[in-house]
Amino acid sequence: MARTLSATDGSPPDANRTTIAGILVHVLGMFFGFVGPGLVYLVSTASFTRANAQNAVNWHVFAFGMGLVAVVLAFGLGAISDVFVIIGAAIGVTVAFLNIIFCLWATVKAIRGDEWEYPLAPTVINSPIQ
């Protein structure tokens, strides 16, 4: 669900609330996983930045966990059967593809002033927007 920061009359988002860090936190997550957005979340004071960093951390923790599942399936259980290798590879490729698509989409939404919550992501960080 996206929370829009723009006015109800269709005017563009308030430039004072939309921050560069709030926009780039999603791209940062593509390259540094949950660590980059997590650091931005810890040091930011702007509500837009914190909300976008929170959403990015929630997604990247999920993606990291799914990556671990893929590695365990492919390399840990792959010795038992090749089916586990195929399943692990499919999970890994799917998560990598979704990560790129979701991060780019979240960046576009942030540019428009929206705080987009990633689909499938559980709530890891749940804090009220200040």
Apex CA 62: angle with CA 93 and CA 100, to 5°?
A: 45
Question: What confidence category does residue 41 fall into, taking pLDDT thresholds of 50, 70 and 90?
Answer: very high
Cβ neighbours for 3, distance < 8 A, ≥ 6 positions apart: 51, 114, 115, 129
Question: What confidence category does residue 78 fall into, taking pLDDT thresholds of 50, 70 and 90?
Answer: confident
pLDDT digits (tens, 9 = 90+) for 42-65: 999 888 999 999 999 999 999 999
User: Tell me, what's the pLDDT at 126?
Assistant: 81
Q: Which ranges of 10-46 does DSSP label H, i.e. alpha helix?
A: 20-32, 35-43
Cβ neighbours for 32, distance < 8 A, ≥ 6 positions apart: none
Q: In terms of C-beta density within 10 A (0-12 exposed, 13-18 middle, 19 or more buried), how is residue 119 classed?
A: exposed
42/37 Cα distance (integer angstroms): 9
Query: Using DSSP, how many helices (H) and how many strands (E) does the chain show?
Result: 4, 2
